[in-house]
Amino acid sequence: MSGISDVLVIGAGVSGACVARRLSAYELDVVLVDREPDVSFGTSKANSGIVHGGFHHSGAKLKARLEIQGNLMFDRLKRELDFPFERCGIVVAALHDEEMRAIEQLHRQGLENGAVGIEMCSRERILELEPALGPEVVGGLHAPGGGIVEPYRFVFAVVESALKNGVALRTGFKAVRAERVGEIWRVHAEDGRAIDARWVVNAAGLYADEVSALFGAEDFAIKPRKGEYYLLDRAARAKPRKVVFPVPSANSKGMLVIPTVEGTVLVGPTADDVGDKGDFGTTRERLERILASARSLVPAVSEADVIASFAGLRPVSGDDFYIDLSARAPNLVQVAGIQSPGLTASPAIGEYVKDLLKKGGLRLVEKASYDPFLEPKPRVRETDAFGIDRLVAEDPAYGNIVCRCERVSEAEIVAAIRAGHDTLDGIKYFTRAQMGRCQGGFCTYRIVKIIMRETGKDWDEVTKRGGASRLVEGEL
């Protein structure tokens, strides 16, 4: 190896991960970097986790085309990568007759976009499809092709597949300077590391504008738009069968009630432009507004079932995705403004960026050894008593249940750590430990001790999510 990579992908969120995996099918040297201590720690970790139904956006937009295309790729991806995904369907509920006009509009748009199986629903039909809806519903739209996915697990699986096929991952790599050295880009990180690459893909999410500036490329601004959410217990009475949308407004798809693929219920998000890319705070007023809005759709939504609240930031730049070869900087592909439906579109984004690179002159030779499949991982939560007994016979650590609420074993936590997820949050997103109703009250210390044993770290070196987020001061 010359030390010069073919492609450097900046940003290991869902877009960058899908680009890297797609490129891993070719004879290329690909490096994927992220500023955070783990992958999927930006926009990709805090969103609605929806595979959209293809009716929300006009087909004139790139994002609508990639949404439809991406949606269709999820079944195959699930077979290859074994991540939680379910095509449970989406309903949009109209609460007044006037809202049915908007439903008709969405229906027509969906038909034009080619959304599979989309239908207009009478009151009777929509209540049959989704009995959790309130009595005020007058009708709505049903998109059976919509679904739910665990977004971080999707990214983890995509990255794992990319790594399996030769991609190199560098976390904690915060790009601060890019220089042109002959025909290559030399990209420097804040900590002094540098990577040389012939091509660069800017998939830096919230920071795509700043990364673009490093390369002297297009001048655009990423404006964070905050979405706050409430997470409800898996035993919540308010569990719809399908993703429930209200009729959308001008700048947002509205606040939803989402039966997550892992059995909890998510309500939200809000949509508020904020100034700070690090502002993940939730507010009382907005959270109360979410509950009120969710109850108007699904009356059984109760504050008594809330187990957590959180916020995510959408990287907004204009009203469409910006994915193109840079016109100002050589050998740079911009993948910016990937807000909703970015998760749905991401597999198609991987495809689209691969084509752009080819168009730009990157030579693509298929790799004979490319293996799109990941070995399914045993999960105690999804295994019956006999199966658990067999797992424990192979590895006793499967019998030690560390997270009681989500039933996660020590073996699964060790596997997460060995795959590089060695912060509390990384383990949470990878295994679901700490994600249940006690929110880590019982298992945090157990997980910390496993991290210490596996990595040799001390108490005060274990963090929640890297940086200064250390958990304790140290020993007494």
How many C-alpha atoms does 372 have within 13 Å on its Cβ side? Answer: 11
Give min distance, CB of 319 to other proteins, in A.
Answer: 29
Contact status, residue 334 vs residue 356, Cβ threshold 8 Å: no
Distance in angstroms between the alpha carbons of the first and the last residue of the chain? 49
Contact status, residue 314 vs residue 279, Cβ threshold 8 Å: no
Identity of the residue, 114 or 399, whose beta carbon is nearer to other proteins in the bound complex: 399
In this chain, which stretch among 62-70, 156-164, 339-347, 382-390 interacts with other proteins, using CB under 8 A? Answer: 382-390
Residue list 408-427, contact with other proteins (CB under 8 A): 410, 424
Nearest to 54 by CA among 304, 464, 357, 345: 345
Residue type, 409: S
Looking only at the bridges linking them, the beta strands covering 168-170 and 119-122 are: unpaired
Identity of the residue, 333 or 380, whose beta carbon is nearer to other proteins in the bound complex: 380
Binding of residue 401 to other proteins (CB under 8 A): yes
Cβ count near 262 (within 10 Å): 17
Binding of residue 318 to other proteins (CB under 8 A): no
# of chain residues touching other proteins (CB under 8 A):
56
Output the CA–CA distances (angstroms, integers) from residue 450 to 217, 342, 402, 459, 467, in the order listed.
Answer: 45, 35, 10, 11, 20
Buried b (16+ CB within 10 A) or exposed e, 302-333: eeebbbbbbbbbbbbbeeebbbbbbeebbbbb
Binding of residue 128 to other proteins (CB under 8 A): no
DSSP characters over 351-372: HHHHHHHHHHT----B-TT---
Q: Which of 300, 399, 454, 457 binds other proteins (CB under 8 A)?
A: 399
Give Cβ neighbours of residue 108 (< 8 Å, ≥ 6 apart): none
Contact status, residue 219 vs residue 336, Cβ threshold 8 Å: no
Binding of residue 385 to other proteins (CB under 8 A): yes
Give min distance, CB of 282 to other proteins, in A.
Answer: 4
Identity of the residue, 22 or 45, whose beta carbon is nearer to other proteins in the bound complex: 45
**Site string (33-62) toward other proteins, x via CB under 8 A:** ------------------------------
Binding of residue 470 to other proteins (CB under 8 A): yes
Q: Which of 16, 269, 347, 440 binds other proteins (CB under 8 A)?
A: 440
Give min distance, CB of 293 to other proteins, in A.
Answer: 16
**Site string (265-304) toward other proteins, x via CB under 8 A:** -------------x-xxxxx--x---------------x-
Output the CA–CA distances (angstroms, integers) from residue 225 to 162, 271, 411, in the order listed.
Answer: 30, 6, 38
User: Could you give the CA distance from residue 60 to residue 432 in angstroms, rounded to a whole number?
Assistant: 39
Output the CA–CA distances (angstroms, integers) from residue 47 to 172, 229, 260, 284, in the order listed.
Answer: 22, 8, 11, 19
Binding of residue 463 to other proteins (CB under 8 A): yes
Residue list 232-261, contact with other proteins (CB under 8 A): 235
Q: What is the DSSP letter of 19?
A: H
User: Could you give the CA distance from residue 223 to residue 232 in angstroms, rounded to a whole number?
Assistant: 29
Identity of the residue, 184 or 388, whose beta carbon is nearer to other proteins in the bound complex: 388
Identity of the residue, 72 or 471, whose beta carbon is nearer to other proteins in the bound complex: 471
In this chain, which stretch among 242-250, 329-337, 352-360, 437-445 interacts with other proteins, using CB under 8 A? Answer: 437-445
In this chain, which stretch among 96-104, 140-148, 323-331, 404-412 interacts with other proteins, using CB under 8 A? Answer: 404-412
Active site residue 52: yes
Q: Which residues bind other proteins (CB under 8 A)?
A: 230-231, 235, 278, 280-284, 287, 303, 306-310, 380, 385-386, 388-389, 392-393, 396-401, 404, 407, 410, 424, 437-442, 444-445, 449, 459, 463-465, 467-476
Residues tagged active-site: 52
